[in-house]
Chain A
Amino acid sequence: MSSQPSGAGASPAAAASTGPAAAGASLAANIAAEVTAFAGEVGSSGAVTVVGARTHRDVGGVPLAGTREVCAPAGVWEHEPSEMTVRCGAGTTVAELAAHLARTGQMVPLDPVDDAATVGGVLACGFSGHRRLRYGHVRDLVLQTRHVDAAGKVVTAGGPTVKNVSGYDLARLLVGSLGTLGLLAEVILRTLPVPPAAQWLEGDGDPFAAFDLLYRPSSILWNGSHVWILLEGDPADVAAEASKLETAGFAPCDGPPPIPAAGRESMRPSDLRALAGTAGGWLAEVGIGLVHRPEPVQAAPVSPANALLMDQLKQRLDPDNRLNPGRRPW
């Protein structure tokens, strides 16, 4: 993409830093101009695929050869720490967003395996990070989306405030849709304070018993024999919870091994137990039911009734199948 300014200096964020109301108006105009330019690039005909950092390029299939590539706008555009919201282009990398928010002690726990991933890419895949146990699904971090639809028009869904139930929740529908219903241009996300303390522990104990022992742990990863647990929060609480785990045979550590990224196998949290003792280089999220595997995993089928609804949604929203052809979330 050519119109994309690189870095905060050239983006509307430069206007944000000047502060006053006039800058606010020009910021809004700049953001609108970026989104409009993106809509122009998407256009209203011809197969088109949105490209982020290419870290999740094969999820749900690979875009058909010859599909025109576009990039969503990038840049952290507005961040109001006291509102706990941040507005950014969907093409912003998770690393850039994290660095921006860290200056005021905040975060959006997207936690992709590779933080070169873009915000839009993470949301399009609908992949929550390894701290979902504490912070919830990524779709619950999304407050507002602005996407370009198959007609090349901009559609806004959700709202800019931390709480909102105005209209149909298209923002949630877009999360995990692999860009097949619309191409994300801009999002407003909920931010959270960075917890004052964080500690990983590891051990060979029972991860399910550990889950029951702890109050809102951030992550429990398990490879069938060994367990890594992340505690976050107030330092005194982290220490107290850690000591409970140490009594159960766990010891502080630097963190888990790299999380395999080739395949995600989804099951009920309780079904993970059946994996005990099995080998294969997998790492599972206890309490969530997600197994990260080093090899691709066949997507689970959807029921005929749901497949019909999904097919019809796709047909109505993208009748010419021009948005990310070749990829399919079901």
Chain B
Amino acid sequence: MPSRSAALVGYGRGVTSEDAAADAALLADLRGVLGDRARDNDFERGLYSRDGSIEGSPPAIVCLPDSAAEVAEIVRVCRRHSRPFLARGSGTGLAGGAVPVGRPVVVATSKMDRIVEIDTANRIAWVEPGVLNLDLSRALAPQGFHFAPDPSSQQVCSIGGNIANNSGGPHCLAYGVTTAHIAALEVVLPSGDTTVLGGVEAEPAGLDLRGLFVGSEGTMGIATKAAVRLTSNAPAVRTLLLDFDDVSEGSAAVSAIIAAGLVPSALEMMDQRAIEIVEAFAHAGYPTGAAAVLLVELDGLPGGVEAGVEIVREVAQKHHVGHVRVAADDAERALLWKGRKNAFGAVARIKPDYYLHDTVVPRSKLTEVLEKVYRIADAYGLIAVNVFHAGDGNLHPILAFDRREPGVDERVKAAGRDIVAASIEAGGVLSGEHGIGLEKRDYMGMLFSTHDMYTQDVVRETFDPDGLANPLKIIPTGSRCSDSFHQHVPEGAWV
């Protein structure tokens, strides 16, 4: 079977004059398609060398296509040059999925940012991949709809990135992650051919290639247009802030709310450090003395929402809640969410850098795993801040650190690995919504057997037999007997 290493330009041994000549020939062909929207200046290569994760390496060339036809041409040019390509949205991904590996051509979708059609009769919208998540929901608002996945980065992250990572967000507790909201995808396959996966019709014929593509982190091709499902805006919304003196009471309340038969639209938790930094930033009136707060949102028709508020109140009281604050109006609700959604950036108040993790554990294990997270952070001399989607057990430990401290990168990675291991040991999974990328690629074996990973790679290979589409992501090296590509991973890239 072909190895994914076959196409990689020898990197990690430095760029040779042969590489430079190959890059020049490639650039000339790409300029033939894109003109000055194919670029190789150091500034832009530097700009596109990283995503939201903590590592990076520069691409050979950055392309800014304006249409699906141009994307297809870029892929065909890359094929002729046996050069990997890598689609990139806003670069907010946290798992290194958009970090260039193998000196690829980066295909940035930022110019493909048109909402092509809003089709309320079929409750879908056709959008290009560069459309920003929040821009889409804003455009849908006048018709009474929104796009349900709402990552914390929704102001800047793109729909294409959401598709690549099968992104989530606080409101995925009730509405599900991205895959449930994508009806169809127009994609340029690694072969250079364009096709539509899925469909707007009820039951598109054949295998669910659409479901396979969503979350495949650009390793099966490049999405150039998506039919996203429209979700009705709820007639009634209530947002509650509950504070607890004890983290374990807060966690227990999470399980109890779910066990009471409620499915809140969001159920978020913040620990004491998170509350302090968020309050200092957002001034939302978060109780800074509390050990934990829960942000609970209920939406739907008014009867169920009000009944839900009472259930939450009762459950919280059984778990010794301090205060139950119900947002009085949209402004107060927005203020509470402002704190939550900007929590990660606010960590800069503690340390200049942070590493945001993403694992899922059973709700009943939240307390146990949170305690382990604190112990792990202590052991590595790091500060852990926890702001997370408690309702679905999706932990987001933030490790705050200062890059300038010698050796800190190694400690951060080691702590991250321990957190992943603790989550899996508790019956959890590697990632709830950020994906695998490079970050967790080599942890896949914690969750999957060698044969599981082999099977996944066989499926990937069906789409990309030559290994040109965002190579070396998701599946660890050594999953295939023919693989020997670890020596090709660039210096400084995360393996």
A residues at B contact (CB < 8 Å)? 80-84, 105, 126-128, 136-137, 139-140, 149, 153-157, 159-170, 172-173, 175-177, 181, 192-193, 196, 215-216, 233-237, 240-241, 264, 266-271, 285, 287-290, 299-303, 305-307, 309-310, 312-313, 316-317, 329-330
The 10 listed contacts between A and B (C-beta, < 8 Å) are A81-B259, A83-B362, A159-B428, A163-B389, A164-B429, A176-B207, A233-B300, A266-B203, A270-B122, A309-B195
Q: Does B4 contact A (CB under 8 A)?
A: no
A289 touches B207 (CB 8 A): no
Q: Give the distance to chain A from B297, nearest Cβ to Cβ, in Å.
A: 16
Known A161-B393, A168-B212; further 17 A-B contacts with Cβ < 8 A: A80-B362, A127-B203, A140-B180, A153-B451, A157-B455, A157-B456, A164-B431, A165-B431, A167-B436, A173-B212, A236-B303, A237-B304, A285-B202, A290-B202, A303-B196, A313-B459, A329-B207
B364 touches A83 (CB 8 A): yes
Q: Does B33 contact A (CB under 8 A)?
A: no
Residue on A with the closest CB to B219?
A168
Residues 248-270 of B at the A interface (beta carbon under 8 Å) = 255-256, 258-259, 261-263
B301 touches A165 (CB 8 A): no
Provide the B422-458 mask, 1 if CB < 8 A to any CB of A, else 0. 0000011111111110001000100111011101101
Please give, as numbers and ranges, the residues of chain B lying within 8 Å of A303 by CB-CB distance: 195-196
A233 touches B197 (CB 8 A): no
Please give, as numbers and ranges, the residues of chain A lying within 8 Å of B205 by CB-CB distance: 266, 299-302, 329-330
Q: Give the distance to chain B from A45, nearest Cβ to Cβ, in Å.
A: 18
Provide the B195-238 mask, 1 if CB < 8 A to any CB of A, else 0. 11100111111111101101110000000000000001011000
Residues 335-369 of B at the A interface (beta carbon under 8 Å) = 360-364
Please give, as numbers and ranges, the residues of chain A lying within 8 Å of B211 by CB-CB distance: 139, 169, 172-173, 175
A215 touches B166 (CB 8 A): no
Q: Give the distance to chain B from A169, nearest Cβ to Cβ, in Å.
A: 5
Q: Does B60 contact A (CB under 8 A)?
A: no
Q: Kindly specify which of B72-80, B132-140, B410-418, B460-468 makes contact with the partner chain.
A: B460-468
Q: Does B307 contact A (CB under 8 A)?
A: yes
Q: Give the distance to chain B from A163, nearest Cβ to Cβ, in Å.
A: 4
Please give, as numbers and ranges, the residues of chain A lying within 8 Å of B51 by CB-CB distance: none
B448 touches A156 (CB 8 A): yes
A139 touches B208 (CB 8 A): yes
A161 touches B362 (CB 8 A): yes
CA distance A162 to B479 in the complex (A): 27
B179 touches A169 (CB 8 A): yes
Q: Give the distance to chain B from A188, nearest Cβ to Cβ, in Å.
A: 11
A160 touches B461 (CB 8 A): no
Provide the B35-71 mask, 1 if CB < 8 A to any CB of A, else 0. 0000000000000000000000000000000000000
Please give, as numbers and ranges, the residues of chain B lying within 8 Å of A168 by CB-CB distance: 212, 215-216, 456, 459-460, 474
CA distance A154 to B460 in the complex (A): 19
Q: Give the distance to chain A from B265, nearest Cβ to Cβ, in Å.
A: 12
Shortest beta-carbon contacts, A-B, top 6:
A236-B303, A172-B211, A330-B206, A234-B304, A237-B301, A159-B429
Asked, given contacts A140-B179, A270-B122, whether A289 binds B201 with beta carbons under 8 Å apart, the answer is yes
Q: Does B10 contact A (CB under 8 A)?
A: no
CA distance A240 to B194 in the complex (A): 48
Please give, as numbers and ranges, the residues of chain A lying within 8 Å of B432 by CB-CB distance: 161, 163-165
B203 touches A215 (CB 8 A): no
Residue on B with the closest CB to A182?
B455
Other-chain residue from A82, A149, A163, A313 in contact with B360 (beta carbon distance below 8 A): A163
Residue on B with the closest CB to A193?
B261
CA distance A243 to B436 in the complex (A): 49
CA distance A287 to B256 in the complex (A): 34
CA distance A157 to B451 in the complex (A): 11
CA distance A307 to B363 in the complex (A): 41
Residue on B with the closest CB to A314?
B207
Number of B residues near A (Cβ < 8 Å) is 86
Asked, given contacts A149-B455, A177-B207, whether A82 binds B364 with beta carbons under 8 Å apart, the answer is yes
Q: Give the distance to chain A from B256, nearest Cβ to Cβ, in Å.
A: 7
B427 touches A156 (CB 8 A): no
CA distance A226 to B108 in the complex (A): 50
B172 touches A215 (CB 8 A): no
Asked, given contacts A267-B202, A306-B195, A309-B209, whether A167 binds B461 with beta carbons under 8 Å apart, the answer is no
A165 touches B165 (CB 8 A): yes
CA distance A164 to B427 in the complex (A): 12
Other-chain residue from A156, A161, A264, A305 in contact with B189 (beta carbon distance below 8 A): A305
A167 touches B474 (CB 8 A): yes
CA distance A173 to B210 in the complex (A): 9
A170 touches B300 (CB 8 A): no
Q: Give the distance to chain B from A256, nearest Cβ to Cβ, in Å.
A: 17
Please give, as numbers and ranges, the residues of chain B lying within 8 Å of A270 by CB-CB distance: 119, 121-122
Residue on A with the closest CB to B441?
A167
CA distance A223 to B300 in the complex (A): 29
B261 touches A105 (CB 8 A): yes
B303 touches A234 (CB 8 A): yes
CA distance A167 to B121 in the complex (A): 34
Q: Does B302 contact A (CB under 8 A)?
A: yes
Other-chain residue from B204, B263, B462 in contact with A193 (beta carbon distance below 8 A): B263
Asked, given contacts A305-B189, A312-B462, A329-B207, whether A156 binds B452 with beta carbons under 8 Å apart, the answer is yes
CA distance A160 to B458 in the complex (A): 23
Q: Give the distance to chain B from A144, nearest Cβ to Cβ, in Å.
A: 9
Residue on B with the closest CB to A239?
B303
Q: Does B392 contact A (CB under 8 A)?
A: yes
Q: Give the distance to chain B from A231, nearest Cβ to Cβ, in Å.
A: 10
CA distance A192 to B234 in the complex (A): 19
Residue on B with the closest CB to A212?
B120
Asked, given contacts A163-B433, A270-B121, A330-B205, whether A170 binds B456 with beta carbons under 8 Å apart, the answer is yes
A313 touches B447 (CB 8 A): no
Q: Does B318 contact A (CB under 8 A)?
A: no
B207 touches A167 (CB 8 A): no
CA distance A266 to B262 in the complex (A): 33
A316 touches B462 (CB 8 A): yes
Other-chain residue from A127, A165, A173, A271 in contact with B435 (beta carbon distance below 8 A): A165
A161 touches B360 (CB 8 A): yes
CA distance A171 to B460 in the complex (A): 14
CA distance A173 to B456 in the complex (A): 11
B202 touches A289 (CB 8 A): yes
A155 touches B455 (CB 8 A): yes
Q: Give the distance to chain B from A218, nearest Cβ to Cβ, in Å.
A: 13
Q: Does B177 contact A (CB under 8 A)?
A: yes
Asked, given contacts A162-B392, A173-B208, whether A237 binds B303 with beta carbons under 8 Å apart, the answer is yes
Residue on A with the closest CB to B304?
A234
A215 touches B121 (CB 8 A): no
Q: Give the distance to chain A from B303, nearest Cβ to Cβ, in Å.
A: 3
Residue on A with the closest CB to B180?
A140
Q: Does B394 contact A (CB under 8 A)?
A: yes
